[in-house]
Amino acid sequence: MSGPTLTTLPNNPILDLNTGIGQRSCTFRFQLINGVTGQHLGDITPIRAASLTHDTTRTIKRQLTLPLGVEDTAAVNTITDRVLVFMVMADGTQYPLGRYMFTDAARVLTTAGRLGAMALNDEMFLVDQEITAGINGVGFDTADVIATALSGLPISFQLEPAGFISAEAWGSGTSRGQVLEALAISGDYFSPWFDNNGIMRFIRTFDPAKAVADLDYDTGFKVYRDQILETDDLLTAPNRFAVISNAAQDRDVPVFATADVPVSAPHSVPNRGFVISLTQNLQLSTQSQAQAVVEGLVNRQTVFERVSLSTAPDPRHDSYNVIKWQGALWLELAWSMSLVEGGAMNHLLRKGYQ
């Protein structure tokens, strides 16, 4: 009999619904603060189940919906206030689920007063505004250009080193999100996101099939039996990626690189018998950078063998988590949850190939 699977997140008997755990109890807390001064303004209470979504394909990854009663609707200043969300376990342990700012507010007039239908985004909304001064990244370290693009904003961020040189520049009026997405590709990062603690994160791309799983869905009783759906776009998925650049540091050396999906992938070149290629023209400085970027594109590709499944709400999920499921490793692309105990947490996973 094999032992438990090694995971980066330690087993939690309650959250992992281990054998012998028949039920659990938790609640969700919504703390209101002034986003400018940091002043704590107390808690608000949605009148129905709030919902939270996280999608790695969007520039603004997280969205929160809050239906509010009369008193909370009147108390909220949608311009300055932020909402901090927590999952609170029966023993008092609080897990943060991010920091959100109001981006849409509708008020329904009733005989009892105004009821709020609020939509909030994570603070990428604050980041993803037009830049008022151009950014020249040509010849500078990609990580330094990212730090320059974020300079002066009231946020915290963490940035893994990359060691690649940028060959791009952006004029006034370009959205900062567009700048950061371009730098993420040329710096070999996954698309940036705001994590559960409200910190903006840039992590290097990785192959999920070669990673250590964060969570093991093959043990315990995490996955609901119903609503498991497998989909894929393998019939038309690219199996060879290429990048070319006309911004090489050495004009006499061409910058061009290719990478194939792993041979074990169902749509690989050997398995299909022919090549379906996808070529991107990027502003890259060196051959080594081009090779890292094209391999990152293989890991970032948006066409996958996917599975959708449901679990109980689990606050340990963040972004780009690696999940063990049915003996394989999967990268989590998106999740959503109803912020009420007893509600489901839905996950979209894509398979990694060795």
Instruction: Provide the pLDDT confidence category of residue 15 given band limits of 50, 70 and 90.
Output: confident
Q: Indicate whether 329 pLDDT > 60.
A: yes
Q: Indicate whether 247 pLDDT > 70.
A: no
- Residues 268-286: tens digit of each pLDDT: 899 988 999 888 888 787 8
Residue 289 confidence (pLDDT):
85
Q: Which of 47-56, 85-94, 242-251, 284-293 has the lowest mean pLDDT?
A: 242-251
Mean pLDDT of 281-303: 79
Mean pLDDT of 254-271: 86
Closest CA to 240 of 211, 269, 202, 270: 269
Distances (CA, A) of 246 to 38, 140, 183, 243, 255: 47, 17, 17, 11, 7
Greater confidence, 231 or 155?
155
Q: Indicate whether 1 pLDDT > 70.
A: no
- Residues 121-174: tens digit of each pLDDT: 999 999 999 999 999 998 899 999 999 999 999 999 999 998 888 888 999 999
CATH class of the structural domain 127-202: alpha beta
Burial class (CB in 10 A: 0-12, 13-18, 19+), 95: middle
Amino acid at 302: T
Structural domain spans, the chain: 127-202, 234-300
Amino acid at 313: P
Instruction: Provide the pLDDT confidence category of residue 354 given band limits of 50, 70 and 90.
Output: low
Q: How many CB atoms lie within 10 A of CB 79?
A: 10
Amino acid at 172: S
Q: Indicate whether 224 pLDDT > 90.
A: no
